[in-house]
Amino acid sequence: MSTTEWRERLLERMPPELAEEIDIFEGQMELRRKGKIEDRVFAETRLRRGVYGQRYDNGHRHDGLASRELVYPAGDLTKGPETLWDAPGMVRIKVPYGGITPEQLDVIAELAEEYSDSILHITTRQDVQLHYVHIDDTPDLMRRLASVDITTREACGNGVRNLTACPLAGVCHTEAFDTTAYAAALFRFLLGHPDCQDFGRKFKPAFSGCAGEACGLVMMHDFGAIARTSIVDGVERRSFDLYVGGGLGTTPHQAKLLYEDHPVEELLPAVQSIARVFGRLGEKANRNRARIKFLVAKLGIDEFRRLVDEERKVLPHDDRWTSYLPSVEDYTESPVREAVPAPANGAPLPDGYREWLRTNVYRQRQPGYAVATVALPLGDLSSTQTRQLADVARKYVGDAVRTTVEQNIVLRWVAEGDLPALYEDLVAIDLAAPGAGTIVDVTSCPGTDTCKLGIASSRGLAGELRTRLAAKQFELDEAVRGLRIKVSGCFNSCGQHHVADIGFFGNSRKINGVTVPHFQVVLGGRWRENAGSYGLAIGSVPSKRIPEVVDAITTRFVTEREGEESFQDWIARLGKKELGAMIGELKTVPPVDEDPSFYTDWGDARVFTMGDMGIGECAGEVISSTDLELTMAESIAFDAQVALEDGDLARADERAYAAMVAGARALVRTEHPNVPDDPDTIVREFRTRFYDTERFFDRFAKGRFARPLFDRHEAGSPAEHQDEATRSLVEESQLFIDAVHAMEIREAGAQSALV
Amino acid sequence: MTTATTTDLVRIGAKLYAVNPEVIDLDDVIPLFHGWIQQRVLDGVPIDVADYAHVPDGPGVMLIGHEADRSLDLAGGRPGVLYQRKRDGSGDLPERFAASIAAADRLAADVEADPLGHGVRFDRDEILIVVPDRLRVDNDDAALEELREAVTAALATTRPGRTAELTRVTDDPGGPLRIRVRLT
């Protein structure tokens, strides 16, 4: 058997724009290998394609005795500052609002087997991550995703990240209305939007169907929309309360109400206006202060609102703001099975079914249907399980599958009569663990397993807690069973510890001159009300004593709880001093010769060290959108050269012209951010702004480097491609891009001379 | 246009099953693998240890490397050692199959020899060959026939004088091509 490469094999199945983006990225990789793209620029380029660094990618790893060098075949070639080309990395796959189909699951399972470690990891923002991926494999990985309409674009980097939403949207009892179609429209609108390319940091949006439940956790997001309805002239009217400036991290902020009762038709322009304000005024130099929460705090919500209002007034109209609305009302998910009633009382049921039913099944507002949660240990499932789960989904619910922020997967629209059979099918593939959404269902970020920023082993601790709690889950008091535990490997809150009843984040302490892994204990965060309030940090405890902390807190809560008092109210009643005293005894660390286990972390045999931490890439690199666009133009020009070498003159001609247009557009957008994406306008604007004014002119060559663009644009594609003429155009396209760079440098120099 | 063929196959894995899996303690496999990295006893570039023991019938505990992953693998409900080549294969196709089988043999011997293996033994008379490369190899009988000659040649060097029966494992049609080798 022989096949073509993935690119050719999948060409007809990929959306053309995605296919081209991936080709461009592959070209950028080749340019980086040749040293023709700056390290920092390439780092942000790959981040915006979802290609992320991993622990040890600086080429050093502490093996328990000393830090050793990892010597890779590609040597010193890097894919970002201090990030070796050959070092494995993570690929983050965007799953907007968590919606994923069996076909998509099948493809991701294949990718996990071929390029990763056969594990799919569901994140706390409904993404899927694959770890230990070599960058050389990423273009094909992306193509295979694109063939089932998935993108990794802007899954990382300083852009709009995955859009999260309640996995029960459309089927839950408390929502105002189903936000799915709005979320999907906003996701499509923001993906690659020019107004979202110049942020100093990431921007995370979320949707919620109601204010009272946890849903989309709007209050901890950069932007969030909570659905509401009102009756106007006897007709139900949909709207959103829009929030901005929430975030966790080292300094958690609750989001502020930007607009109340905002019309749905104004949703997209409102977010675009917010993005423009953030892009223009957000911090760029100090990335620790660059999230939108700092801008909102600095300006105050009223001034921020005024700026957004002003921006809205000058936004050029975009048909996409409302073109999706007519189809919103029609959006429905159809069950694949007829509603049949649940088994009658007394009917024989599979072992373990009742407990699973109690914790993992939510009865939809549509009679006869339910949502079943597949609880995943640490958010992981194997590629084989993924395929099996995809088959189970096809059988019972079709495409009605979503990932959740608690790192699980839900099957929606299960006919209640099918629940016992579904349970048995899940048992057969080891995905029928009970306890979803309970204290057993511990959430964790990747931590020191793979993250460069991890301090302590969040997954190791979460796994240990899960094992211990699962063993006694049926004996736990009901008040304790309903609590949530969330663990982060550092203060950056990827495990969302701030909004857990019991949260932990990794840190370390020097004890007798030796570094010991610890976790800060954070109590009383509110999961409900869209992450309505953040927990209280009460002290740092050695990692190996955290299970005792959980025992102490839960035991005391059961003992001291007054009536139906919530955990949050109990924490508030006890106060920080009393809570600190409760864990005080657990802070001690025995000498290393008495108990060396304290000096290693959960699931890691090595003596604990902080030496493996690296520079995190979640903040991305602050690169101007002009630089990124020029990098893309370079890649298109490179593609033209490859086509020329292959003898494909038509493609070489088209690519060379496209590269020049992309270079011109990069320049035009520095002054005219909203320039339409058509060559006529771009070339006209370029001529007016830069050629006619002679700003583009080189001291010696004058405007000569722009002529090939004008000539090719005016003449159009030749009827017959001549080798010499095509070769010349390909060369000229590179010269044109060089001239754009030169102009940038000239003008930057002129600017700095003025300062 | 570039054409990928089976002769380009690099992603070739070989698994040997534990005869007495009940003695395996995955918690001890973690320090075992860390120790190998520390002692620098492995070929290639070993990178880190990944613990997936919590995933039923999953990859178990893995020693991630640049060229290849080694693992105490739980897939299929049958624990064993798996050597999975990922890149930088050399030699012709039979030599690449042979290299993966030989690496699995060494992996098995090393685990058997270590106290942290708790006396586990691996069967050399049954080999699972895994080829996770859907670009070059489909999971069908035709692919088995296409690879039969190369696998047989590899067995001639790694299991000389033995008779091999090759069958395709069909319990996971969506999975990668897997060939079960039984030697007599």
| CA contacts within 13 A on the Cβ side of B89 | 22
Nearest to A70 among B31, B45, B55 (CB): B45
Contact A605 B2 (CB under 8 A): no
Residue of B nearest to A67 (CA): B38
Per residue in B30-77, pLDDT tens? 999 999 999 999 999 999 999 999 999 999 999 999 999 999 999 999
**Averaged pLDDT, groups of 10, chain A, 755 residues long:** 77 95 94 94 93 94 92 96 96 97 98 98 97 98 98 92 96 96 97 94 96 91 97 94 93 94 98 98 90 95 98 97 91 89 80 96 96 98 98 98 97 97 98 97 94 92 96 92 95 92 91 87 93 89 97 95 95 89 92 92 88 71 78 85 86 94 92 89 95 88 90 92 87 86 74 47
**Contact B90/A at CB under 8 A:** no
Contact B172 A64 (CB under 8 A): no
> Which is it for the CA torsion A12, A16, A22, A28, positive or negative?
positive
Residue B162 CB coordination number (10 Å): 14
Of B2, B31, B66, the CB nearest to A72: B66
Q: Is A37 left (phi over 0), alpha (psi -120 to 50) or beta?
A: beta
* Residues of chain A positioned with their CB less than 8 A from the CB of B31: 605
Q: Name every residue whose Cβ is closer than 8 Å to that of residue A246 and which is 6 or more positions away in sequence.
A: A218, A219, A220, A221, A222, A224, A253, A254, A255, A256, A293, A531
Residue position matching structure tokens 């025992």: A551
- Distance from the A4 Cα atom to the nearest Cα atom in chain B, whole angstroms: 4
Nearest to A117 among B31, B62, B174 (CB): B62
Q: Strand locations in A174-326, DSSP E?
A: 205-208, 223-232, 235-244, 256-263
Which residues are A52's β-sheet partners? A90
Q: Which residue has 């190791």 as its token pair?
A: A460
Residue A2: per-residue pLDDT: 41
Residues of A in contact with B142 (CB under 8 A): 1
> What is the structure's pLDDT at A749?
65
CB contact under 8 Å between B175 and A384, yes or no, is yes
Cα three-residue angle A580-A586-A587, rounded to 5 degrees: 80
A73:B136 CB<8 A: no
Any A CB within 8 A of B26 CB:
no
Contact A383 B50 (CB under 8 A): no
Residue A96 DSSP label:
G
> What is the number of H-type helices and E-type strands within chain B?
3, 9
Search chain A and give the residue with CA nearest B172: A384
Chain-chain contact of B47 with A56 (C-beta, under 8 angstroms): yes
Measure the CA–CA gap between A631 and A659, rounded to whole angstroms: 10
A385–B58: do the CB atoms touch at under 8 Å? yes
Q: How far apart are CA A380 and CA B74, in angstroms?
A: 15
How far is A497 from chain B, CA to nearest CA, in Å? 22
Size of interface A-B (CB pairs under 8 A): 136
Identify whether the C-beta of residue A120 lies closer than 8 Å to the C-beta of residue A383: yes
Q: Who's near B41: CB < 8 A, 6+ residues apart? A: B110
B54, A378: Cβ pair inside 8 Å?
yes
What whole-number distance in Å separates Cα of residue A751 and Cα of residue B141? 68
Instruction: Determine whether the interchain pair B51/A603 forms a contact, defined as Cβ–Cβ distance below 8 Å.
Output: yes
Contacts with A35 (C-beta within 8 Å, 6 or more apart), sequence order? none
Mean pLDDT of B136-149: 97
**Is A304 in contact with A258 (CB distance < 8 Å)?**
yes
Q: Mark yes or no for CB contact A384/B75 under 8 Å.
A: yes
Which structure tokens are listed for A450? 């793979």
Averaged pLDDT for residues B139-158 = 97
> Testing the interface with B: which of A118, A467, A607 to mutate, by most B Cβ within 10 A?
A118
Q: Left (φ > 0), alpha (ψ -120 to 50) or beta: where does A180 sit?
A: alpha
Going from the C-alpha of A733 to that of each of A496, A627, A653, A697, the distances in angstroms are 48, 17, 10, 16
Instruction: Encode pLDDT of B15-26 as tens digits.
Output: 999 999 999 999
Q: How far is A552 from chain B (nearest CA, A)?
A: 26
| Residue B2 confidence (pLDDT) | 59
Contact A106 B174 (CB under 8 A): yes
